[in-house]
Amino acid sequence: MLRIILIGVLASLFFSSTFVLNRAMSLEGGHWVWSASLRYFWMLAILGCWLVVTGRGRLGLDTLRLFRKHYLFWILAGSVGFGVFYALITFSSVYAPGWVVAATWQTTILATPLVLLAFGRKVGLRALALTLLIFAGVVLVNMEQASGAKLSVVLMGALPVLVAAFAYPFGNQLVWEARQGENRFIPSIDHPAMDDSVCRVLLLTLGSLPLWVLLILIISPPLPSTGQVVQTGIVALCSGVIATSLFLYARHMAKSSAELAAVDSTQSMEVVFSLAGEALLLGHVMPGFFGWGGIVLSMLGLILYIAMQNRP
94 has pLDDT over 60: yes
Look at residue 99 in the predicted model and tell me its pLDDT. 75
302 has pLDDT over 80: no
pLDDT tens, 261-300?
Answer: 677 777 777 877 887 787 777 766 667 777 778 878 877 7
Distance CA 143, CA 137 (A): 10
Q: Is the pTM of this model over 0.85?
A: no
Q: Which of 247, 196, 186 is nearest to 15 (CA)?
A: 247
pLDDT tens, 37-84?
Answer: 999 999 999 999 999 999 999 999 999 999 999 999 999 999 999 999
